Homo-oligomer: A and B are copies of this chain.
């Protein structure tokens, strides 16, 4: 950690800052420049990251040199983690191809969609039973009934299932039915929920918050890991941008950034990132070319009847075509889709 002092800092203030650093068990190294004095901190700065050093009179800026996350960091764990969802592996060359409708609607529809995506090569089935909806008047999901349908259809078609959990009080219930727990973008900093899923042994799919930096995101991962659950897959699903033409801005550069900073797998969700079916295939291909460990796509056989997010769903045939293209790009970057 480097503490940059004000131009007008006094000797007494310098001594005070240095004393504060020592008091926290670390060693200050004072360097007096022509224009500014700087104090380098020798020792494990993570002990200092919560200390309000920037509030000390005379301090202009505090520059950390270590990442504030530990367990999520590649420094701590240089080899890529492979997360297993049922018998499906994600990471380390294995692609998790997640597909299904936004919401679980009914058994018949789920079976039709599952049959189609399975045939096209999806290996994990998705569907929401508890839906975080912007409007209190929108369909909120089928609840436990939806979980049952999801599990049964997944088993019938040989796919483990992932579904969203939105309330810490539901974690136990959802764990009874799901193979993987999804935390949505709006809950990326719901620390009560992160802590609760961290206490389970289920793999977690953690979507990036709409205004989260990569560091914010990895700090949320740290909440889960620090509870003992190390099976986290990150999911880039678009961040807030200024162009209303797309629902979000798909940040494909997040993929190499996560891979550089963390050992955990990261997949892409071009459905939410763009909100427009005509942009989904290009963004899915871009994600895999950039090194993503999987792709999450919403598929619906009758989007105009969908109870949630119909306008961004791909039709089963469109999904099939996309999977054929993804297979080629995956091979070009040295990965294999089953």
Task: Select the stretch in A82-90, A121-129, A151-159, A275-283 that faces chain B.
Answer: A275-283
A329 part of interface (Cβ distance < 8 Å): yes
CB neighbours (8 Å) of A306 from chain B are: 52, 55
> Nearest chain B CB to A109's CB is how many angstroms away?
14
In the bound complex, how far is the Cα of B168 from the Cα of A274, in angstroms? 32
CB neighbours (8 Å) of A333 from chain B are: 285, 325, 328-329
A313 part of interface (Cβ distance < 8 Å): yes
A41 part of interface (Cβ distance < 8 Å): yes
In the bound complex, how far is the Cα of B60 from the Cα of A75, in angstroms? 15
A115 part of interface (Cβ distance < 8 Å): no
A169 part of interface (Cβ distance < 8 Å): yes
In the bound complex, how far is the Cα of B192 from the Cα of A168, in angstroms? 9
- With A38-B40, A65-B35 in contact, is A134–B283 under 8 Å at CB? no
Structural contact, A136 and B223, CB atoms closer than 8 A: yes
Which residues 16-66 of A have a CB within 8 angstroms of B? 20, 29, 31-36, 38, 40-46, 49-50, 52-57, 60, 63, 65-66
A97 part of interface (Cβ distance < 8 Å): no
A210 part of interface (Cβ distance < 8 Å): yes
CB neighbours (8 Å) of A53 from chain B are: 304
- With A41-B33, A213-B243, A222-B135 in contact, is A168–B169 under 8 Å at CB? yes
A100 part of interface (Cβ distance < 8 Å): no
A146 part of interface (Cβ distance < 8 Å): no
CB neighbours (8 Å) of A295 from chain B are: none
- With A245-B215, A257-B245, A329-B289 in contact, is A311–B54 under 8 Å at CB? yes
Residues of A near any B CB (own CB < 8 A): 2, 4, 7, 20, 29, 31-36, 38, 40-46, 49-50, 52-57, 60, 63, 65-66, 68-69, 75, 132-139, 166-169, 186-187, 189-192, 195, 209-211, 213-216, 219, 222-223, 226, 239-246, 249-253, 255-257, 260, 273-274, 278-279, 281-283, 285-291, 303-307, 309-311, 313, 325, 328-329, 331-333
- What are 16 pairs between A and B in contact, CB < 8 Å? A2-B4, A4-B63, A31-B42, A34-B43, A49-B138, A50-B307, A52-B309, A55-B306, A68-B134, A213-B244, A252-B252, A252-B282, A252-B283, A256-B283, A289-B290, A289-B329
